[in-house]
Structure 1
Amino acid sequence: MSSILLDQNNPVVQLCIRGVQAEMHDQIAAAQAAYQQAWVMRQTALDGCIAAHYCARHQPPTTMLEWNRIALEQAQLVEHAAISDFLPSLYLNLAWSYEQTDQCALAVEHYRLCLASLIGLEASPYHTMIQESALAALQRLDR
């Protein structure tokens, strides 16, 4: 998550880390359970954004879309400076969800929002990966 400062003592963050570790051992059901528990335990909009972002993983397209919408909605409740580095990823994931559910106009809109949200962020491997992914998607969608 780029330079978002996450409190490693936050139970939501700990559960998401546990979920990622489970994924690394192909324990997808355990990962999803950890992400769902993180969602239940959320205390703030930032917690909700993080938990929803992870809840979207390994889901069918319509469920993934809903979780990605929730993640962005939660992010929009957080002070911009605290979430600005994470917004490109949120837009990218939501755009991908729209693309996967054949909502190409919304996908294009969110890929463009993704690119716009990169403006002013420091150059980094994260920045490059997000930018290249969004540009490739727009080219794929011929927009």
Structure 2
Amino acid sequence: MNNALLDHTNPVVQLCITGTQAEMHDQIGAAQAAYQQAWALAQTPLDRCIAAHYCARHQPLATMLEWNQIALEQARLVESSAISEFLPSLYLNLAWSYEQNAQIDQALEQYQACLTSLAALAEDPYRTMINDSALAALQRLDR
């Protein structure tokens, strides 16, 4: 996620960082607990978007899909300029969730939305990674 989007003094963001750090030490249960706490504290659409994005991690496929849907729904409630750099990642994660749940038409739609939303990103390694991931998925799905 773009650091400009994250207020590191925000308790929701702090909990997501804590969860990510726990993941790096293979403490998945602790990470999930931190993400759930972040969700419980989230009060704004941006906070809910961020928390849902992280809650989706390490979940069963159907639950992962639900969290990724919530993340994108909440993102759509945030002023577009504030969230535009995060949208490609949200679309990519939602597309992957749809693909893993064998909902291929929805996956293709989200991969395309991901590619379309890349215009908001600067030409950098992060944009290249998102672009390459979406293109590989479309090729994998033979579209």
User: TM class by shorter-chain length?
Assistant: over 0.9
Shift of 1:3: 4.8
Residues 112-121 or 36-45, more deviating: 112-121
Q: Structure 2 matches for 1:1-143, cutoff 5 A?
A: 1-143=1-143
Counterpart residue type for residue 133 of structure 2: S
- For 2:82 and 2:5, locate their aligned partners in 1 and report how far apart those are by CA, in whole Å: 8
Contact residue 84 and residue 120 of structure 2 kept, 8 A: no
- For 1:131 and 1:3, locate their aligned partners in 2 and report how far apart those are by CA, in whole Å: 19
Counterpart residue type for residue 17 of structure 1: I
- For 1:32 and 1:38, locate their aligned partners in 2 and report how far apart those are by CA, in whole Å: 10
Contact residue 5 and residue 83 of structure 2 kept, 8 A: no
Shift of 1:4: 3.4
Q: Which runs of 4+ in 1 moved over 3 A?
A: none
TM-score normalised over the length of structure 2:
0.98
Distance 1:72 1:140, change over 3 A: same
Identity among equivalent positions (%) equals 73
Counterpart residue type for residue 15 of structure 1: L
TM-score normalised over the length of structure 1:
0.98
- For 2:88 and 2:130, locate their aligned partners in 1 and report how far apart those are by CA, in whole Å: 7
User: CA offsets per residue over residues 15-60 of structure 1, 9 Å max, x none?
Assistant: 0000000001100000000000000000110000000000000001
Contact residue 7 and residue 13 of structure 2 kept, 8 A: yes
Counterpart residue type for residue 53 of structure 1: H
Contact residue 32 and residue 55 of structure 2 kept, 8 A: yes
Residues 113-122 or 63-72, more deviating: 113-122
Distance 1:120 1:46, change over 3 A: closer
- For 1:8 and 1:77, locate their aligned partners in 2 and report how far apart those are by CA, in whole Å: 21
- For 2:33 and 2:51, locate their aligned partners in 1 and report how far apart those are by CA, in whole Å: 11
> Number of paired residues?
143
Pairwise CA RMSD: 0.8
Contact residue 4 and residue 86 of structure 1 kept, 8 A: no
- For 1:6 and 1:59, locate their aligned partners in 2 and report how far apart those are by CA, in whole Å: 24
What are structure 1's unaligned runs of at least 5 residues? none
Counterpart residue type for residue 80 of structure 1: S
